[in-house]
A and B are shown apart, each in its own frame.
Chain A
Amino acid sequence: MTTTPILPKLVGQRVKRREDPRLIQGRATYVDDVTLPGMQHLFFKRSDIAHGRIRRIDASAAQAMEGVEAVFTGAEIAELLGPMPIGTPYSSPAHRAVAVDVVRYVGDPVAVVVARDRYVARDAADAIVVDYEPLPAVVDPELAMKGQPTVIHPEFPNNLAVALVPSGTGVDAAGKVDDSAIDKAFAAAEVVISQRMVNQRLAPCAIEPRGVVAHYELGKGSMTIWSSTQNPHILRTFIAALNGLGQDQVRAIAPEVGGGFGSKINIYAEDYVASAISKRLGVPVKWIEDRSEAFVATTHGRDILGYVDLAAKRDGTVLGLKLRLIADVGAYNMLLTAAIPTLTLLMANATYRIPAVRATLTEVFTNKTPTDAYRGAGRPEATYFVERAMDMLAQELKMDPADVRRRNFIQPHEFPFTTQTGAVYDSGDYEKALNTALEAAGWDRLKAERDAARAQGRLVGLGLSMYVEVCGLGPSSSLPTGGWEHGQVTIERDGRISATTGASPHGQGNETTFAQMLADQFGVPIEHVTIHHGDTAVVKQGVGTFGSRSQAVGGTALHMAGGKVKTKMARFAAALLEAHEADLVFENGRIAVKGAPASAKSFAEVAAFAYVPVPLPEGLEPGLSEEAFFEPANNTYPFGCHISMIEIDRDTGEPTLLKLVAVDDAGNLINPLIVEGQIHGGLAQGIGQALVEEVVYGEDGQLLTGSFMDYALPRATDFPRFELHGCVTPTPVNPLGAKGVGEAGTLGSTPCVVAAAVDALSGFGVRHIDLMLRPEKLWRIIHGGQA
């Protein structure tokens, strides 16, 4: 592996984003802006009941409407498309893009209208009559596990999507379980903390809804598909496969994408249906999700129930952890549905040296929208369960929450550290992160402030949370899509640099960070570098943007490709300058001989020579374009510490966040400005989970939070300015030393805000409050009712 250090020039600087000018002027092109001649519009008729058998669909009135091109029922779509593929090794019920005989959640598509415009399409969908035989619905996963009151997929008894995955101490590769170590740990315990905890269901709510334009060109036999996706290459793979086309016959384009947060990893029913209908009818078709549709049709996140038992000695030393997880995955398996909760298993050790861990996972079908990745994806859940348990331990032992953690940290010299659940943490210094946060927040001063406020009768509390997460996904052994990333760097004839990356951004600013890296690598101005992404016709190969992997994996691929071109360019330069390659330096737009600055050629001159090489240096091909696939040997494990202070209004139960301090260690940073933006966003979503966000279903499976009226997103008014601090522990996993930061903010923030609320209400004898912290719940605690 190459370990050439990157020169500290633009890398590490707060370079303004190159994406900004087009975004700030409304000049960016999103999928909804794509209009093609003859384009038709799709509208999906969706189930308005949670579970039922389709007796009959009458689409005759819809078909007869002026402007309606066609109506397809589930059975008709099933003739065009096989079941939707999944990307995990778990067995899965056949999932039809449009339901054929049974609907299994509110929002399950039952028919598709193709029409001249979206008004006609919607009116026609309203005119379709579906006659259902209602079936009982189940929304409580613990009931569903008993097969009560219904079984959603007959081939999955008791609704067990994944019956039981054991992990941790004494579990061998074949899944055989030896409980002696964990039993011993609990037998030796002087104190045991036990708590059932809910990590609630959330809606990702990317502010740009999903959308797709599919155009199958009859004469060419090829398809172009624009989709608001995080991973155009994976989209291409699956769209081609389900339409019976080759990879070479499908071009997938992710235009500007307005946020994803994990929800745009999936290849959705609408993507498949649009492509199949375009192919069938030979016309371009468009579908744009509306917001209420997004609440049912786009995957949800989280929704894991945890039964946590923590065994410890009275000095705070943790002896063992049992974590029994029940994930409510909704009605079907989507691309990564089954895999997301396994990340909770993987991260059960958190930042601690826990000698014995027994974690088990059961995944359960219910009559709800399927879950899948949402920012953090499995890791916030693990953090939440373990950190809340550590707080309860501290409370039980009357220890400072910082001290109980400090006593159990994995120490810096122990890395790489293999956890009881099989993660290999790359590098870390958890105590440093904790100390940095305590100092930055002024922990002791805050405690005094809290106590003073309490003395006046105010309900003020402090919370602290550590976190470690798994990022930089790969390697390929852990991702059926491949865990690598691809980069290509071309020095053009005029000396400018074009680069392509498979890491397809949607707000992460990769056009800037990658250009910073390449500008430094070649010693040229950043203005001379263009980063292309998001179009499989331009970007040869790619995996995509998720799992905080763009910089760590995608950035490294580009750095490697850049290294290859640089080596070749040096050979051309050496020929021109009659010098040794090893004596050349690339800087200030020139390639010069070390120690003889007068002997130099401009970058453009060498580039021009490489394309008209007369004479061609021996052993070289003309041109300057190289590519690289980077396959990481391991994941990266960023970590940090979040601290919050909140106040709860005694009369209304309304919580107010007074302070949030975050210390995040993501290894080396390319652009702190962009990193801070990512952390801000993650923190707001994590705090949103604690304070305002929750997807709620009625017992009949009706979604009660189907618009921005009922599902709250954090607003500008909700938070104080976050105080961000960093520390830097580079990863050895890639030559950049970068770990990834896109999801970090969601990890520590949720538990630290809950901890602060519990602390604020400690006078009322509470030790845990389930998510989310509704004012009503807090008011009941204050006023003596049931939480």
Chain B
Amino acid sequence: MSDATRRTIAFTLNGRRVTADVKTHETILEVLQRDFGLFGARESCGQGLCGCCTLLVDGTAVSGCLYLAAFAAGAELVTVEGLARGDELHPIQRAFVEKSGFQCGFCTPGFILMTAELLSRHPRPTNEEIRHYLSGNLCRCAAYPDIIEAVKRAAELQADRT
């Protein structure tokens, strides 16, 4: 049966090959939540203005609320749930805990994945680079000073690991 409003797509999600049956208007955020039970990326503004829905697509942070699921075909997706290895937190997560870079935590997965992209491109980011990368993520609890500390700490931890 061919239905122009549906497609089956295959992609890599947190290291696993998966497929999903998606409607053409659906965002990747909806598909992650509904079909894969992943709620780390979540909607706050739905307009690409807050960063709460951030995930990595082929290493680049995107707003999941605007990113159509169909575009994910063939891509490699990473969500915050895919960072820890078993019980061992990812260095960026460890850094956020160590520096208390959050309060209610709703925005935190977005900040963590944005940091992941930042550190993949700038392993030793300057203050300017940190501020530039984080300027699209909103945190109403305003844990910003601690978030910036956490990003710096994450850079150190990652440097230690490699």
Binding site for B on A (CB under 8 A): 16-17, 19-21, 23-30, 32-33, 119, 205-209, 256-259, 261, 290-292, 506-509, 673, 676-678, 680-681, 683-685, 688, 707-709, 713-719, 721-722
Contacts and interface: CB of A to CB of B under 8 A. Distances in A.
Given A24-B108, A119-B25, 9 more contacts: A17-B100, A24-B93, A24-B102, A25-B89, A26-B80, A714-B144, A716-B148, A721-B148, A722-B145
B18 interface: no
Contact of A507 (B33, B42, B81, B141): B141
A707 B47 contact: yes
Contacts of B103: 259, 507-509, 677-678, 681
Return the 6 tightest CB-CB contacts between A and B, nearest first: A26-B40, A23-B105, A258-B106, A507-B104, A684-B142, A708-B49
B25 A209 contact: no
A30 B42 contact: yes
Contact of B143 (A24, A30, A119, A681): A681
A25 B84 contact: yes
Nearest to B45: A291
Contact of A258 (B41, B49, B98, B104): B104
B56 to A, nearest CB: 13
B116 interface: no
A716 B135 contact: yes
Interface of B: 25, 33, 38-47, 49-50, 52, 79-81, 83-84, 89, 93, 96-98, 100, 102-109, 112, 130-132, 134-135, 137-148
B142 A685 contact: yes
A291 B47 contact: yes
B79 A207 contact: no
21 contacts: A20-B96, A23-B105, A24-B96, A24-B102, A26-B109, A32-B42, A207-B106, A207-B107, A207-B139, A258-B104, A258-B106, A507-B104, A677-B100, A677-B141, A680-B144, A680-B146, A685-B142, A688-B142, A707-B49, A718-B144, A721-B148
- Chain A contact surface mostly: loop
B44 A719 contact: no
Contacts of A25: 40, 80-81, 83-84, 89, 93
B39 A708 contact: no
A207 B25 contact: no
Nearest to B105: A23
A716 B134 contact: yes
A384 B49 CA distance: 31
A716 B50 contact: no
Nearest to A708: B49
Nearest to A17: B100
Contacts of A16: 97-98, 100
Nearest to A714: B142
B22 to A, nearest CB: 13
B43 to A, nearest CB: 8
A33 B98 CA distance: 27
A259 to B, nearest CB: 4
Given A208-B44, A717-B134, A717-B135, A680 B143 contact: yes
Contact of A207 (B39, B50, B100): B50
A209 B137 contact: no
A717 B145 contact: no
Contacts of B147: 716
Given A508-B103, A673-B100, A207 B47 contact: no
B104 A506 contact: yes
Contacts of B140: 205-207, 259, 261, 681, 685, 713
Nearest to A722: B145
Nearest to A28: B105
A207 B52 contact: yes
Nearest to A677: B103
B131 to A, nearest CB: 4
A427 B120 CA distance: 52
B89 A680 contact: no
Contacts of B44: 207-209, 258, 291
A291 B53 CA distance: 13
A417 B104 CA distance: 36
B144 A19 contact: no
B145 A20 contact: no
Contacts of A509: 103
Given A29-B39, A207-B44, A291-B45, A24 B144 contact: no
A507 B138 contact: no
A292 B65 CA distance: 14
B105 A258 contact: yes
Contacts of B38: 26
Contacts of A673: 100
Contact of A708 (B47, B79, B89, B131): B47
A207 B84 CA distance: 24
A290 B45 CA distance: 7
Contacts of B96: 20, 24
Given A16-B97, A25-B80, A716 B144 contact: yes
Given A25-B93, A291-B46, A207 B40 contact: no
Nearest to B147: A716
Contacts of B131: 716-717
B81 A708 contact: no
Nearest to A713: B138
A24 B112 CA distance: 8
B141 A681 contact: yes
Contacts of B49: 291, 707-709
Nearest to A29: B39
Contact of B105 (A19, A32, A678, A714): A19
Contact of B81 (A27, A29, A676): A27
A676 B99 CA distance: 12
Contacts of B47: 291-292, 707-709
Contact of B97 (A20, A29, A209, A506): A20
Contacts of A33: 33, 39
Contacts of A685: 140, 142
A716 B137 contact: yes
A14 B98 CA distance: 11
Contact of A259 (B81, B112, B141, B144): B141
Contacts of B142: 680-681, 683-685, 688, 714
A205 B141 CA distance: 10
A32 B38 CA distance: 12
Contacts of A259: 103-104, 106, 140-141
Nearest to A118: B30
A684 B106 CA distance: 17
A683 B144 CA distance: 11
Contacts of B46: 290-291
Contacts of B80: 24-26
A538 B79 CA distance: 33
A688 B144 CA distance: 13
A96 B126 CA distance: 54
B109 A684 contact: no
Could you say which of B46, B102, B106, B131 has the most chain A C-beta atoms within 10 Å of its C-beta?
B106
A210 B109 CA distance: 19
B106 A708 contact: no
A209 B33 CA distance: 17
Contacts of A32: 39, 42-43
A26 B41 contact: yes
B132 to A, nearest CB: 8
A674 to B, nearest CB: 8
A533 B150 CA distance: 29
A721 B145 CA distance: 6
B136 to A, nearest CB: 8
A16 B95 CA distance: 12
B144 A207 contact: no
Contacts of A677: 100, 103, 141, 143, 146
A510 to B, nearest CB: 12
A716 B49 CA distance: 14
B144 A30 contact: no
Contacts of A207: 44, 50, 52, 104, 106-107, 138-141
B93 A708 contact: no
Contacts of A206: 104, 140
